[in-house]
Structure 1
Amino acid sequence: MNLIWYALWFVVAVSLLVTVHEFGHFWVARRLGFKVLRFSVGFGKPLVRRVAGADRVEYVIAAIPLGGYVKLLDEREGPVAPEDLARSFTRRPPWQRIVVLLAGPCFNILFAVLLLWGMFWASGVTEVKPVVGDLAQGSIAARAGLRSGDEIRAINGSAVTGQRDVVFGLLDAMSSRGEAALAVRAADGAVHTVTLSVPDAAQRRRLTEPAELFRGLGFQFWAPPIPAVLGQVMPDGPAARAGLKAGDQIVAIEGAPVSDFREIVARISAHPGETLAITYRRGGVEQTARVAVAAEEAGAKRIGRIRVMQPQGITYPASMLSHTDLTPTAALGRAGGEAWSMTVLQARLFWRMLLGQVSLKNLSGPLAIAEFAGDSAQAGVASFMGFLVLISLSLGFLNLLPIPILDGGQIVFQLVEWLKGSPLSERAQAFGQQLGIALLILLMGVALFNDLARQFS
């Protein structure tokens, strides 16, 4: 996957979601009688410009497609004609200003609900049953009594229907008290409870790092067998440099036979920084390549990577899938519920991140988001729409945070003015803006550091 592909879909996603956000501000401001001067998609030099309507609103598509803004009439920014003073932002009632500021994040959340609604209505909901597969000996899960073949039915009293519910439930439990009571049904039909307990706070925080939850607990979901055949081989990765290609069947690693792709992953992961002899079959002929395994930090451990992916087209048997077709009304209800649960979980995890209970490594910057955008676009329309749902909900939530430079911080300013009967002093507002900028730079710095650490690891 090349950088142009990632950049293209990153721009598409950001431009779309920022336009939705700013349209929320624009639409509500117009309905409440504010005077809108400009609605811009993007920043910088205007590429397309059109003036329309009785208010002569300027509609702009600008050169830098990584944002946008709505400019309202505001006497703090320059002289305002007497006949327009009543439509200036500062002259409107505080409740109206708050509604306009809320509209951007709310439109992002509404957009996510509408996308989910369309997906659920068109395709229904397919869940993969959360059946336990491999367990690591001596792990937290194994010591608690979890067994291969157990199906997880509930976590801490909340029913789960698919693997995603289990991921969210375990992440919520481990980042909180570190205890998850799993109601499970064994392969023989017997129902019992298994309690996963992680009393150590540092260990719980490590479990919240990317890709560490199941590795740390010591179990994986059951998955269908995967042939020991290479799917995509990343350009300039260790495998590609050694001459391996997509479609090669891996026969053995260091002379030990392999028959499943997961065996390849396990063997490679155990040898970071080493050079391994990998025997493969191509066109009926067996050959051996010496592959220098890359080392990557995963939590507290170093693991090996050769930058290959599993073959595509592996499907679950029908017995592992649960599909539900939804009416338009049921799909809308399900979409609203999904958006609400994801936003609430996001808020909990963010708060716990501030408290030090959730790893800061979960913050993703533009590089990671671009990768997610490109990968989801390659996977298909449904996958990219799912990506848009997650990012739109995140954009809505983050803009509601009480940071002065964001919508949430501006809402706090308006609430204070409403309660005290006069606006905050310019000095207080300026200090708030500077503090907000500093906080955003700090968050963006951590996110960018995480991006670069993933890229260079």
Structure 2
Amino acid sequence: MFDQPPLWFIAVAFLCAIGPLVFIHELGHYLVARWFGVGAEQFSIGFGREVAGWSDKRGTRWKVGWLPLGGYVKFVGDMNAASQADADAELSAGQRSVAFHNKPWWQRFLIVLAGPAANFLLAIAIFAAFFVALGRPATNPVAQVVTPGSAAEMAGIRVGDRILDVAGQGTDSLEDIARIVSIRPGEQVTIRYQRGEAIASTDALLQVEEVKDQFGQSFRIGRLGIGQERREFEKVGVVEAIPAATGYTFALTRSMIDGLWQIISGRRSTKDLGGPLKMAQIAGQQASLGLFEFIQLVALFSINLGFINLLPVPMLDGGHLVFYAAEAVRRKPVSIRAQEWAFRGGLAMLLALLVFTTFNDLASFGLFR
């Protein structure tokens, strides 16, 4: 059992994790915008008063804000950091030619999409490096061990059965099975398996197990009850590592979608929603375990940041993408007034979510006991 790292270490670890991810995200927006000839007035990591900054020869102000919970690129013609169009702005002919909102919808769509895409690409690069250096998880999904009284035994799984998919998701390795099962405690899932030459399916009611991590924190996870004698890792070349890491990143993203849907559908408690404070605690814990664990967490945070930003919520990148898709269908932009009301609603939703998750985080720290 490890002691919780000190508060200062947690703060530094969180900044070292979230700062580069925000930079990569905003750099995705910035580089694609540059490609399409869009001018950028500000590139900010963090919000609020500027702590440090400099201006480049193109007139872009690169700065760091005092509140490190995000970032933004403010393009020419933007009213604010959310890239709302400034209808009252008086732009010169030169500024109009490089204004973000004067570009075709598909260019604006790609500029916005580039931020989340950059986060997914970073995660893929990290996992690909791990796979080349250490190998990818490739434990055979064959049940060498079936725990007596487990969900697997109750469902009729026997030693030697090869698990083909669980809950409709393919399982190429035992690690895939663990990933799918762990986020479904107490759920009934369909398992398709191969026994000899025959392929069959069965339903299993996953067991619920309370486990503790290295820091004594308890979690409820699902258990199927099969295993192998040892884990296996397969070394891959650089060329093979990219598609392997892409598939791994996609699988982790799908797990996040599954978890979110479980909360929305009521199958998982909203207490499982964490916010910035919980992220900071986890960053500090993983950093205290070592560089490998911390970099792995950065990859997971990067996927999380990319996924969250793709949600169709105004103020997030996904909300902008919805507006541009609507513009493509309608052949004209969504009205400034409609966008303004949508952004207000999106901001209220995000602030409410921030307050709720902060309350959850404080409760998980034992503040209200």
TM category (shorter chain) comes to 0.7 to 0.9
Q: AA paired with 1:197? A: A
Given candidates 40, 57, 80, the residue that maps to 2:44 is 40
Q: Structure 1 residues 96, 168: closer, same or farther in 2, change over 3 A?
A: same
Cα distance in 1 between the residues matched to 2:88 and 2:123: 34
Q: CA deviation at 1:102?
A: 0.6
Q: CA deviation at 1:99?
A: 0.9
Instruction: Map 1:227-238; keep pairs closer than 5 Å.
Output: none
Given candidates 15, 23, 48, the residue that maps to 1:19 is 23
Instruction: Map 1:375-394; keep pairs closer than 5 Å.
Output: 375-394=285-304
Cα distance in 2 between the residues matched to 1:455 and 1:174: 23
Q: CA deviation at 1:398?
A: 0.8
Cα distance in 1 between the residues matched to 2:204 and 2:162: 16
> In the alignment, what sits opposite 1:9?
13
Q: AA paired with 1:21? A: H
TM, length-normalised to structure 2:
0.81
Could you tell me whether the CA contact under 8 Å between 1:5 and 1:374 is conserved in 2?
A: yes
Q: 1:178 aligned to 2:192?
A: no
Could you tell me whether the CA contact under 8 Å between 2:112 and 2:321 is conserved in 1?
A: yes
Cα distance in 2 between the residues matched to 1:367 and 1:50: 30
SS of 1:320's partner is coil
Could you tell me whether the CA contact under 8 Å between 2:180 and 2:255 is conserved in 1?
A: no
Q: Structure 1 residues 321, 351: closer, same or farther in 2, change over 3 A?
A: closer
SS of 2:120's partner is helix
> In the alignment, what sits opposite 2:331?
421
Which digits, 9 at most, give the CA deviation of each residue in 1:259-297, with x for residues without a partner?
A: xxxxxxxxxxxxxxxxxxxxxxxxxxxxxxxxxxxxxxx
Q: CA deviation at 1:320?
A: 0.7
Cα distance in 1 between the residues matched to 2:240 and 2:315: 38
Q: CA deviation at 1:400?
A: 0.8
Which digits, 9 at most, give the CA deviation of each residue in 1:120-174, with x for residues without a partner?
A: 112222456676879585x645533568x77864434866455431122325777
Q: Structure 1 residues 435, 171: closer, same or farther in 2, change over 3 A?
A: farther
Given candidates 59, 66, 70, the residue that maps to 1:56 is 59
> In the alignment, what sits opposite 2:165?
155
> In the alignment, what sits opposite 2:83?
none
Cα distance in 2 between the residues matched to 1:158 and 1:43: 40
> In the alignment, what sits opposite 1:212?
220
SS of 2:219's partner is coil
Cα distance in 1 between the residues matched to 2:46 and 2:315: 18
Cα distance in 1 between the residues matched to 2:190 and 2:271: 23
Which digits, 9 at most, give the CA deviation of each residue in 1:368-403, with x for residues without a partner?
A: 211221121122222112111111111111111110
Q: 1:115 aligned to 2:25?
A: no
Q: CA deviation at 1:322?
A: 1.2
Could you tell me whether the CA contact under 8 Å between 1:113 and 1:339 is conserved in 2?
A: yes
Q: 1:397 aligned to 2:328?
A: no
Which digits, 9 at most, give the CA deviation of each residue in 1:206-227, with x for residues without a partner?
A: 9xxx83233xx575868xxxxx
Q: CA deviation at 1:36?
A: 0.7
SS of 1:37's partner is strand
Q: 1:367 aligned to 2:299?
A: no
SS of 1:332's partner is helix
Asked which structure has the greater CA Rg, the reply is 1
Q: CA deviation at 1:454?
A: 1.6
Q: 1:72 aligned to 2:75?
A: yes
Q: CA deviation at 1:428?
A: 1.4
> In the alignment, what sits opposite 2:259?
349
Q: How many aligned positions are there?
A: 345
Cα distance in 1 between the residues matched to 2:288 and 2:14: 13
Cα distance in 1 between the residues matched to 2:201 and 2:144: 12
Q: CA deviation at 1:427?
A: 2.6
SS of 2:42's partner is strand
> In the alignment, what sits opposite 1:197?
204
SS of 2:87's partner is helix
Identity of aligned residues (%): 30
Q: CA deviation at 1:117?
A: 1.2
TM, length-normalised to structure 1:
0.66
Which digits, 9 at most, give the CA deviation of each residue in 1:56-114, with x for residues without a partner?
A: 22122333333221110114363222321121122111111111111111111111111
Q: 1:330 aligned to 2:240?
A: yes
Gaps of 5+ in 1: 223-318
Cα distance in 1 between the residues matched to 2:194 and 2:363: 38
Could you tell me whether the CA contact under 8 Å between 2:182 and 2:221 is conserved in 1?
A: yes
Could you tell me whether the CA contact under 8 Å between 1:170 and 1:180 is conserved in 2?
A: no
Which digits, 9 at most, give the CA deviation of each residue in 1:303-352, with x for residues without a partner?
A: xxxxxxxxxxxxxxxx5131211110111111111112222332243234
What RMSD, in angstroms, separates the aligned Cα atoms of the two structures? 3.4
SS of 2:34's partner is helix
Q: CA deviation at 1:50?
A: 1.9
> In the alignment, what sits opposite 1:86?
97
> In the alignment, what sits opposite 2:107?
96
Which structure is higher in RCO with an 8 Å CA cutoff and minimum separation 6? 2
Q: AA paired with 1:449? A: F
Which digits, 9 at most, give the CA deviation of each residue in 1:3-27, with x for residues without a partner?
A: 1111111111111111110111111
Could you tell me whether the CA contact under 8 Å between 2:154 and 2:204 is conserved in 1?
A: no
Cα distance in 2 between the residues matched to 1:405 and 1:62: 19
Could you tell me whether the CA contact under 8 Å between 2:112 and 2:320 is conserved in 1?
A: yes
> In the alignment, what sits opposite 1:286?
none
Q: Structure 1 residues 172, 365: closer, same or farther in 2, change over 3 A?
A: closer
Q: AA paired with 2:76? A: L
Q: CA deviation at 1:438?
A: 2.6
Could you tell me whether the CA contact under 8 Å between 2:192 and 2:202 is conserved in 1?
A: yes
Q: CA deviation at 1:42?
A: 2.3
